[in-house]
Chains A and B, each alone.
Chain A
Amino acid sequence: MESFFVRYRNLVVLLAVLLAQIIGLAMQVRRTDSGHNAFDTKDATGVWLIRLWADALVTPPERLFHGSKMGVWGLWDSYIGLRHTHEQNLELQKTIDRLRLEQAALLEDAKQGQRLQALADFQQKYIYKTLAAQAIGSSGSDQSRVFYIDKGANYKLERDMAVITADGIVGKIREVFPYTAQVLAINDQSSGAGVILETTRIRGILRGNAAGRPQIVGILADQRIQPGEKVLTAGGDQIFPRGLPVGTVEKVVPDPERDSFINVIVKPAAHIDRLDEVLVITSTEPRFSPDQQQDMATSEAVKGAEAATIKEQQKASQIMAERLPGLLDPNLPPEQQPLLDNSNPNPVTHPPVALHPDRFTPGSAPTPTASQEPGVPAGEEKQPGAAPESKPQSTPPTKPQTKPQTKPQAKPAEPAKPPPANPAPVNPGRDR
């Protein structure tokens, strides 16, 4: 047995390494509800550690390369060449080189400052809280369109935060490391962003194709979709805020896998392939500019003053209602009713008494409900306005009642009809 492993050691090592990696691969893929295989959306601890180590190993050199815009190799070669070709003027050349380096650095800083200034202006236009970061590296593969930014958990970045530029959306954060973060670009095949066409209002999902071009997939053929139409974020994916620019329609191609469906190739608004500075949307809470805040404060003050005025008016109306005398006061005797008070400078005028009253004379016409009440004989009607529990009284039809409500009856007349067998008082307790 020992000779077998020694003899076929190369093959055994190869199979062992392959087997371990295949088992590891199988543990990272799962079957979705739709029946397709997919990578785990969140890496396991072991996988995350491998990514962390790889990132920790690659990031420092990338930062170094990114920091020195001129490039390490070109700088070194130039320095060596100048030193050997101009030995007599070594000090002078060093001074020139240093000044050139400083000038180049200042120019780069100036350019970077202009770009950051543009980003700052952009931040003021939008109401989201953002964090500026620099792209420092990529995955190194055309099949995986991710890139790395120089800020991570130390700036409280989290997964699925949207990454944008002043021109448009770029991607979302897929993995966060202590000092860096991995961003999945919108032109990757596994990405997905809800978008909407500005004019036709057609919604779709944006993802990348094999060539790294973002395209809207899964929409029915529509003749209205024309090149040049703007594409915006739809806001339904819970990652990108609604209304951010995505790009413009470049062309429409048929879906090779499904009939009557099309893919809309989109020209991204952001320069995804040449990113330097990006913005990470760290919060979607509204953040307004000073002008907007002042407008809001003014609006709140106006609304508060109007509310206070309305409240004061309501309070004054209540006080007036309490102090003003009413037309009828049931607690006062009839002689002291406001309507009979001669002291009132503006007495209520009553209609004149008809000389020849008829059935059209006010107070003499029977009400429909009274005439239709069972048990009431013709010619006898119920006093309008009389309470059911009050004793019924007889009223001659020919004699109009000028003051039926204000003049109480000293002697109630004989009831025109017997009271109901089981009268239902409105409020028996109050009657007692």
Chain B
Amino acid sequence: MALLGTDFRRGLGIRRYPMLVYILAPLTAVVLQAWLPRLLAGHAWFDLPLVVTVYFALVRRDPIQGTLMGSALGLFEDALTHHAIGINGVAKTVVGFLSGSVGVRIDVENRTIRLMLTFLLSILSSAIYIFIYRILLGLDLDWSWLAEAAKAVVNTVIAAVLFQLLDRLQIRE
């Protein structure tokens, strides 16, 4: 239960970034998520807000920050669709919370672990989305696990590049 408290972050190396990075990175992710599918024949085989949420929740090792960032980005994604606002919000809220919680248990400098975590959280996000859509709201939705798995793979590939890019932007003492 120490994971749910506030004292667990003591003694951990917390990365810090310029404020501009905290603003521009999520905003750029949302804008590109809305714009890039037009260049890819309308297919959105990736989830940039999810990758950004996982990254900042992991490196900041703060479940609350991950929760709030995931919630905000998820709601933002929902607002751009024609679906109810909150489906992606709930999914990414859970993802952000878990990422921040797991960040205190793992070595965030290990790239392989981060990528594996990104893949698993991407699958989890899709599962939560479909669960809310079909079970909680009782709406009709056709979906394919294969497509969700492919989406998770693409997210992992993007994370492999984006994490290194964002690592370079951190404030080094």
Q: Which residues of A contact B (CB under 8 A)?
A: 6-11, 13-14, 17-18, 21-22, 24-25, 28-29, 36-39, 47, 50-51, 53-55, 57-58, 61-62, 65-66, 135, 137-148, 174-175, 182, 184, 188-190, 209-212, 272-275
Cβ of B140 and Cβ of A54 under 8 Å apart?
A: no
**Cβ–Cβ contact B4 & A139, under 8 A:** no
> Would you call B80 and A54 a contact (CB within 8 A)?
yes
Beyond A22-B86, A61-B35, whether A17 also contacts B5 by CB under 8 A is no
The answer to whether B82 and A190 have CB atoms under 8 Å apart is: yes
| Docked pose: A337 CA to B84 CA in angstroms | 95
Please, which residues of chain B bring their CB within 8 A of the CB of A61? 31, 35
Closest-by-CB residue of B relative to A53 is B79
Query: Do A140 and B44 touch across chains, with their CB atoms under 8 A apart?
Result: yes
**CA of A341 to CA of B51 in the docked complex: distance in angstroms?**
116
Closest to B42 in A: A273
Q: Which of B106-158 contact A (CB under 8 A)?
A: 129, 132-133, 136-144, 147
What would be 15 A-B contacts, judged by CB atoms less than 8 Å apart? Answer: A10-B67, A13-B63, A25-B90, A37-B139, A54-B79, A61-B35, A65-B31, A135-B38, A137-B38, A138-B38, A139-B80, A142-B44, A146-B80, A146-B82, A189-B142
Whether B33 contacts A182 by the Cβ 8 Å rule is no
Nearest to A274 among chain B residues (CB) is B41
Q: What chain B residues lie within 8 Å of A175 (beta carbons)?
A: 82
Cβ–Cβ contact B34 & A139, under 8 A: yes
Say whether, besides A10-B64, A135-B38, A139-B81, A21 and B31 are in contact (CB < 8 Å).
no
A21 touches B38 (CB 8 A): no
Shortest A245–chain B CB gap in Å is 20
Contact stretch, chosen from B14-22, B70-78, B159-167: B70-78
CB pair A21 B97 closer than 8 Å: no
Q: How far is the CA of A222 from the CA of B170 in the complex (A)?
A: 64
Q: Which residue of B lies closest to A144 (CB)?
A: B81
Please tell me if the beta carbons of B82 and A272 are within 8 angstroms of each other in the complex: no
Q: Tell me, yes or no, whether B87 is within 8 Å of chain A by CB.
A: yes
The answer to whether B93 and A18 touch across the interface, beta carbons within 8 angstroms, is: yes
B83 at the interface (CB under 8 A from A): yes
State whether the Cβ of B89 lies closer than 8 Å to any Cβ in chain A: yes
User: What is the CB-to-nearest-CB distance from A13 to chain B, in angstroms, rounded to a whole number?
Assistant: 5
Give the dominant DSSP class at A's interface.
mixed
B residues in contact with A6, CB < 8 Å: 5-6
**Beyond the given A25-B85, A140-B37, could you list 4 further A-B residue pairs with CB under 8 A, ordered by the A residue number?**
A28-B86, A138-B44, A142-B147, A146-B82
Contacts of A9 in B (CB 8 A): 4-6, 64
Contacting residues, chain A, for B41 (C-beta < 8 A)? 273-274
- B101 within 8 Å of A (CB atoms): yes
Q: A18-B93, A140-B77 are in contact. Are A184 and B82 (CB under 8 A)?
A: yes
Q: Is the CB of A50 within 8 A of B84?
A: no
**A10 touches which one: B81, B97, B132, B141 (CB < 8 A)?**
B97
Q: Is the CB of A209 within 8 A of B142?
A: yes
Chain A residues with CB under 8 Å of B30's CB are 57-58, 140
Closest residue on chain A to residue B88 by CB atoms: A141
User: Considering the chains assembled together, what is the distance between the CA atoms of A53 and B6 in angstroms?
Assistant: 33
A373 to chain B, nearest CB (A): 84
Nearest-Cβ distance from residue B165 to partner chain A, whole angstroms: 12
- Distance between A249 CB and nearest chain B CB, rounded to angstroms: 20
Q: Does B102 contact A (CB under 8 A)?
A: no
Expressed in whole angstroms, the Cα–Cα distance for A143 and B139 within the complex equals 12
A143 B42 Cβ-Cβ under 8 A: no
B residues near A174, Cβ cutoff 8 Å: 82
Whether A29 pairs with B97 at a CB distance below 8 angstroms is: no
Set of chain B residues within 8 Å of A189, measured between Cβ atoms: 140-142
- The one of A14, A58, A212 that contacts B80, using a Cβ cutoff of 8 Å: A58
List the 8 shortest-distance A-B pairs measured between CB atoms, nearest first.
A210-B142, A144-B81, A54-B79, A273-B42, A140-B33, A28-B84, A25-B86, A21-B86
Asked whether, in the complex, the Cβ of A10 is within 8 Å of the Cβ of B136, the reply is: no
Which chain A residues lie closer than 8 Å to B63 at the CB level? 10, 13-14
Judging by beta carbons under 8 Å apart, are B82 and A10 in contact? Answer: no
Pair B44/A29 contact, Cβ less than 8 Å? no
Evaluate contact between A141 and B147: CB separation under 8 angstroms.
no
The verdict on B27 contacting chain A, using a C-beta distance below 8 Å, is yes
Question: Nearest Cβ distance between residue B90 and chain A, in whole angstroms?
Answer: 5
Q: A37–B135 Cα gap in the complex (Å)?
A: 11
Chain A CB within 8 A of B43 CB: yes
* A54 nearest CB across to chain B (Å): 3
Q: Does B68 contact A (CB under 8 A)?
A: yes
B143's closest neighbor in chain A, by CB? A210
**Chain A nearest CB: distance from B154 CB in Å?**
12
On whether the beta carbons of A17 and B35 are closer than 8 Å, the reply is no
Partner of B4, one of A10, A18, A24, A184: A10
A10-B137 in contact given A140-B44, A175-B82 (Cβ < 8 Å)? no
Chain A proximity of B51: nearest CB distance (Å): 13
- In the bound complex, CA of A144 to CA of B78 (Å): 9
A108 to B135 Cα, complex, angstroms: 48
CA distance A184 to B173 in the complex (A): 50
Supposing A7-B4, A58-B30, A147-B38 touch, asked if A141 and B81 sit within 8 A by C-beta, the answer is yes
**Most interface-central of A47, A65, A142, A272 (chain B CB within 10 A):** A142
Taking the nearest CB of chain B, how far is it from the CB of A131, in angstroms? 20
Contacts of A22 in B (CB 8 A): 86, 90, 136
Q: Which residues of A contact B45 (CB under 8 A)?
A: 142
CB-CB < 8 A to B136: which residues of A? Answer: 22, 25
